[in-house]
Amino acid sequence: MLNRILEPEVMDTAEEAVDYDRMDHSHVNRLFVDDFLLALTGTDRLDNQPYCIFDAGTGTALIPIELMQRGFPGTVVASDLAQAMLIVARHNVQAAGFRDSIELVLRDCKQLPEPDATYQAVMSNSIVHHIPEPRAVLRELWRVLKPGGVFFVRDLMRPEDIGALNHLVKTYAGDANDHQQKMFRESLHAALTVSEVREILVELGISPDSVKATSDRHWTICARK
């Protein structure tokens, strides 16, 4: 198994934000929203209020926009620690016409200011591999989730060896520019394995069975608090 090699926690340059936004995330984002909505199926709106969702590590807000384009009946507090990402996100949200339903906030998800049990659902795509100590962010996201709420976290999965890593980069970023390929390669190297995630979930009192490999390069936690 490849050793985990950390990458910078915050992608906060204009080049990184623009290159990330220009990469084709559309298929992955659609699948994320499909699966998140499925996880919410049959869930009563807690407190009989419209859903208020927290999105951790929103990047350029492409997933909240995809969610709202499906006619989602609620609002999203979309957070990121990178100002450069949020600048692009504001443009995207405004262009999509969702300023009233997507609130963009600067947050360190390892230390959130929100009280316990604030949100009816928490979602996150590809923040965990950026965090040197992922327990901190998963603990905080679980803390701000209301009892009965849906906890939906997806991230990249570290390959077993360099050959598998090279194959994933060629398959999913082969048409990208050099910088985009470098970002994807470093992200795969920094990602956790399913076994590592399970160990963290046990420590946090979350069922380890709630995390599964959901593609050749992703794992997903889907749990109810």
Q: Which CATH number characterizes residue 129's domain?
A: 3.40.50.150
Average pLDDT score over residue span 76-105: 96
Lowest mean pLDDT among 21-25, 39-43, 153-157, 187-191: 21-25
Q: Are 217 and 156 in contact (CB under 8 A)?
A: yes
Q: Which two tokens stand for residue 189?
A: 């190297």
Long-range contacts from 136-143, C-beta under 8 angstroms, 24+ separation: 136/110, 136/111, 137/56, 137/109, 137/110, 138/200, 138/201, 138/204, 139/204, 140/109, 140/110, 140/111, 140/112, 141/54, 141/56, 141/109, 142/204, 142/206, 142/225, 143/112, 143/116
Average pLDDT score over residue span 198-217: 97
Report pLDDT for 127: 94
Report pLDDT for 10: 73
Average pLDDT score over residue span 86-99: 97
Report pLDDT for 44: 63
Domain count, the chain: 1
User: Residue 27: which residues within 8 A CB-CB, separation 6 or more?
Assistant: none
**Has residue 191 got a pLDDT over 90?**
yes
Other CB atoms within 10 A of residue 195 CB: 11
Average pLDDT score over residue span 105-126: 97
158 assigned to some structural domain: yes
147 assigned to some structural domain: yes
Q: Are 128 and 134 in contact (CB under 8 A)?
A: yes
**Has residue 47 got a pLDDT over 70?**
no
List strands edge to edge, sheet with 145-156. Answer: 102-106, 74-80, 51-56, 119-125, 145-156, 218-224, 211-213
128 assigned to some structural domain: yes
146 assigned to some structural domain: yes
172 assigned to some structural domain: yes
8 assigned to some structural domain: no
**Has residue 179 got a pLDDT over 90?**
no
CA distance 100 to 76: 10
pLDDT-derived band at 112, boundaries 50, 70, 90: very high
Element (H, E) at 218: strand 218-224
List the beta bridge partners of residue 28. none
7 assigned to some structural domain: no
Report pLDDT for 144: 98
Lowest mean pLDDT among 56-70, 94-108, 168-182: 168-182
CA distance 189 to 146: 33
Please provide residue 71's backbone torsions phi and psi, each rounded to the nearest 5 degrees. 80, 30
Element (H, E) at 155: strand 145-156
User: Residue 68: which residues within 8 A CB-CB, separation 6 or more?
Assistant: 76, 96, 98, 101, 102
Domain of residue 146 covers: 14-224
Report pLDDT for 46: 58
pTM for this entry: 0.92
Mean pLDDT score of the chain: 93
pLDDT-derived band at 20, boundaries 50, 70, 90: confident
The residue among 220, 213, 63, 77 whose CA lies nearest residue 144 is 77
pLDDT-derived band at 43, boundaries 50, 70, 90: low
70 assigned to some structural domain: yes
Average pLDDT score over residue span 107-132: 96
Average pLDDT score over residue span 100-129: 97
Report pLDDT for 15: 74
- In angstroms, the Cα distances linking 212 to 153, 219, 220 are 11, 5, 6
